[in-house]
Amino acid sequence: MADTAMPPTGGRDSLRRRRPSGEPAPLPKEPLAGSGKAWTAVALAVAGLFALLLSPTELFLGSGAWWNSVDAELTGWFVTVRTSLLTDVALVIDEIRTDWFVTALRWGTVAALVGFRRWRHLIVFVGAVIFTDTLVVGLSNRLARPRADGVEILTDWSGFAQPSHDAAALTVTLVAMVYALVVPGRPRRSALISISVVLTILGLARVYLAADRVTDYATAMVIGVTVPLMAYRLATPDAVYPVSYRRGKTAHLDLSGRRRAAMVAALRDQLGIEVAGIEQFGLEGSGGSTPLRISVLDGGYVFAKLYAKNHLRSDRWYKLGRTILYGALEDESAFRTVRRLAEHEDHVMRLMVEAGVPCPAPLGIVEITPGREYLLVTEFLEGVSELSDGEITHPTIDAALWTVSKMWDSGLAHRDIKPANILVGSERVYLIDHAFGEMRPSPWRQAIDLANMLLALSIHSPPKVVYERASEHFSQMELAEAFAATRGVTIPGELRQAMRDRCPEALREFRSLAPPHPPIRIQRWTRRRLLVLVVLALSAAAAVWLVALNRSIVGQLL
Amino acid sequence: MRCNPILWLVLALFAAACAGDETLLGPSVACDTTNRGRLLLFAQAVPAAQSIPCLGGLAPGWEIREIETRTGEAVLHLSEDGSDVEATATLVGSCPGVTVDADAGGVMLLRDMPMQGEHVYVFTGGCVRVSFGDGIDGGAVEELLGSIGFVSRDDLRALSGWEL
């Protein structure tokens, strides 16, 4: 009889700790943390002021005359300290707000973002700039505040005074540039401080020249800071879309600071794992997650994959691309949440283990940020290496083919068989990375799994040898079907590249060994595929039409 | 009160008969001075101009599409609802080839050739060019011209309390 007595800790692992209701998650979502909250408060205050100024209220704070008197005193003081030297200096400083300089900064940023293929940041940059310029022009026309009275304005000006269009244009450009191009942390803080100094000096120069009054400039700065700050923090949070110039794939998230501490705490609390260290591992073969090797305090390792929203986005785009290229053959749909992504892979791995398909044992899912970041934790396989690095013997080939046949028998498919996902050790073969795994796959998908395994094995062994071994596990018609279904798009990119480098004729050779089989079409026209193509075409046409219609506006703003 | 454009035309013709190609206008249009911000900004754009253009109520179907002001120039862009027909009134410090007698005072209309499509109002310290886009008919031209008036800088100072 099993011992069912309660252990002294009350029936629960002593390391695990349930997070009570109300306690923040290991890495809470706080897009407007720190300065974001402060600027939001300031922006709301300014918005309230504008509302008062635009309203018919007679309160003195809403009366233009009161603000005029405050501004007049401040401007008047600056006029009293005018000298020809100071005027020359102020005019030089004022040059940085000119149209040509701001336009050059904007186009330079656009070019840099295109060069770095940082598309989301590019869209946010352009959107923030256009929104700010439109808002400022609209507000200034509505307020219709003239320039300073009774003082000589020593430089050129244009438009109504408040908010200052020149100040807002330069501020939004500089702040948006920093958020789009500068790495978060100390570099970004330093850049923002530098910008603040530059804008303060420009503000002093503008007030000295009487081109802007203090409130004109200040309100423009608040708008120019708040719009890009909120846009970037909400649309491209650093935790999900980090600005980084490290080599490597954008899927691989930064593991320093708060995220690392959150992972350590979450692994302890949720899985009872005491972490000694976390390092990135096996990055070359991964593109849809951040793979990690975690050393445990009492020895040994576990393996983990960190999933975040950028992986979800990659999954969506990947599946959309496949739908466009060859249709939704298997009614495939993108995951809606990061949680679902992690849950799916964990579930597939448990099915694989249950079916006897060799793969790492899943240990559970850890929540880092609710809805946003999860760790999928599995055992770490020691003494194995990727197929490309291991020794490929006949028993190894047999073991690899046996995994495919086991999946066929169990109604499972891996769907991403490539050398980086095949681990070899002691003539055992393990399949890893089951993110694309499927239950009850179509026959076509099963055939593709077999074909990709054969092609992966042929990188290190002659196709004739691989085919002979495969004939022991599969019928000739099954092998013929596998190669009849294979096209360029059905072969994972890494496997395609390896074949190009080492065995470009493998597929042709396999087809010559297998019995003839008519090609299996993979381009299927479905309602969904048609709809996606129509929507894409209409969106592209609408975008071109909008740009053409507003090219003068876009040209002026940029 | 909007000036009857026919009466204005008659007066203009009479004045032209007496004074050659120049026509002296009085403040024949009662300007809408509630949008003081715009008037003050126009006055600041051309500091020497002693008369500031204003609108006495736009012709039906017309609206202000855009206002541009910068050092030395102020432009009112007007457009007709639902069409591409437009007009602009530009205040500048001087118009090429035009001089004004400092003692003339008031606002003088320089009658131009009809095919040039432009009317020029000249006054001490500045001038206003009113031009019309393609497709505008004569009736609309007269209506628009009838809605343009001028307020003197002194009157604007008195109204606003600004030094200007």
Shortest CB distance from B40 goes to which of A146, A157, A159? Answer: A146
Quick count: other Cβ atoms within 10 Å of Cβ A459? 19
Contact at CB, A144 and B37, closer than 8 angstroms = yes
Averaged pLDDT for residues A26-45? 71
Which is higher by pLDDT, A2 or A128? A128
- What is the pLDDT confidence band of residue A193, given thresholds at 50, 70 and 90? very high
Long-range Cβ contacts of B82-85 (<8 Å, 24+ apart): B83/B135, B84/B133, B84/B135, B85/B133, B85/B134, B85/B135, B85/B136, B85/B140
Range of the domain at B121: 5-160
Contact across the interface for B37 and A147, Cβ inside 8 Å: no
User: Is residue A158 within 8 angstroms of chain B, CB to CB?
Assistant: yes
Both tokens of B110, joined, read: 């320089």
Contact of B85 with B112, CB cutoff 8 Å? no
At B7, the pLDDT band (50, 70, 90 cuts) reads very low
Task: Band the pLDDT of B14: cuts 50, 70, 90.
Answer: very low
| The pLDDT value given to residue A469 | 94
Asked if A143's CB is within 8 angstroms of B70's CB, the reply is no
- For residue B30, the model assigns a pLDDT of 65
Q: What is the mean pLDDT of residues A505-522?
A: 89
Among A9-13, A371-375, A448-452, B67-71, the range scoring the smallest mean pLDDT is: A9-13
What pLDDT, on a 0 to 100 scale, did the predictor assign at position A554? 53
Q: What does the pLDDT read at residue A379?
A: 93
Set of chain A residues whose Cβ sits within 8 Å of the Cβ of B41 = 144, 146-147, 160
Indicate if the pLDDT at residue B49 is higher than 80. Answer: yes
Q: Average pLDDT in the A362-377 region?
A: 91
Band (B134; pLDDT cuts 50, 70, 90): confident
Rounded to whole angstroms, the Cα distance separating B83 from B78 reads 11
Residue B16 confidence (pLDDT) = 39
Number of A–B residue contacts, CB under 8 Å: 37
Contact between A146 and B70 using a beta-carbon 8 Å cutoff: no
Res A288: pLDDT? 62
pLDDT score at A553: 54
Q: What is the reported pTM? A: 0.66
- Cα Rg of chain B, angstroms: 15
CATH code of the region A385-513: 1.10.510.10
* A141 and B CB contact within 8 Å: yes
Q: How far is B67 from chain A (nearest CA, A)?
A: 8
Residue A5: the pLDDT is 55
Q: What is the mean pLDDT of residues A111-122?
A: 92
Q: How many domains is chain B built from?
A: 1
Q: What residues in A contact B69, CB-CB < 8 Å?
A: 158-160
Q: How far apart are CA A301 and CA A285, in angstroms?
A: 20
- The band of B22, judged by pLDDT with boundaries at 50, 70 and 90, is very low
Q: Do A141 and B67 touch (CB under 8 A)?
A: yes
**Residue A339 contacts B where some CB pair is shorter than 8 Å:** no
Q: What is the mean pLDDT of chain B?
A: 73
- Give the DSSP letter of residue A3: -
Question: CB distance from A149 to chain B under 8 Å?
Answer: yes
Interface test with A, best of B44, B63, B67 (most A CBs within 10 A): B44
Across the interface, do A144 and B38 touch by the CB < 8 Å criterion?
A: yes
Q: Is the pLDDT of residue B13 over 60?
A: no
Side chain identity, residue A546:
L
pLDDT confidence of A59, banded at 50, 70, 90? very low
Decide if pLDDT at B139 tops 80. Answer: no
**Which residue on chain A is closest to B36 by alpha carbon?**
A144
Closest to A287 (Cα-Cα) out of A258, A325, A315, A327: A315
B58 and B47 in contact (C-beta within 8 Å)?
A: no
Q: A159 to chain B: which residues are within 8 Å by CB?
A: 68-70
Residue pLDDT, tens place only, B66-94: 889 999 999 988 888 777 778 888 999 88
Ranges A373-387, A446-460, B129-143: which has the least confidence = B129-143
pLDDT at B114: 46
Angle at A225 between CA A220 and CA A229, to 5 degrees: 150
* pLDDT tens by residue, A398-433: 999 999 999 999 999 999 999 989 999 887 899 999
- pLDDT for position A529: 78
Q: How far is Cα A470 from Cα A474, in angstroms, rounded to an integer?
A: 6
Q: Which CATH architecture has domain A258-379?
A: 2-Layer Sandwich (3.30)
Q: Which residue has the higher pLDDT, A265 or A48?
A: A265
* Spatial distance between the Cα atoms of A337 and A319, rounded to a whole number of angstroms: 15
pLDDT mean over A478-501: 88
Q: How far is B68 from chain A (nearest CA, A)?
A: 6
Q: Flag whether pLDDT at B116 surpasses 70.
A: no
pLDDT digits (tens, 9 = 90+) for A62-91: 456 677 788 888 999 998 999 999 999 999
Provide the pLDDT for residue A19: 78
Whether the predicted pLDDT of A58 surpasses 50: no
Distance between CA atoms of A432 and A429, rounded to whole angstroms? 10
Kindly report, residue by residue over A308-332, the tens digit of the pLDDT: 877 787 778 777 777 777 665 565 6
User: CB distance A141–B164 less than 8 Å?
Assistant: no
What ipTM does the predicted assembly reach? 0.76
Mean pLDDT to the nearest integer, A233-252: 72
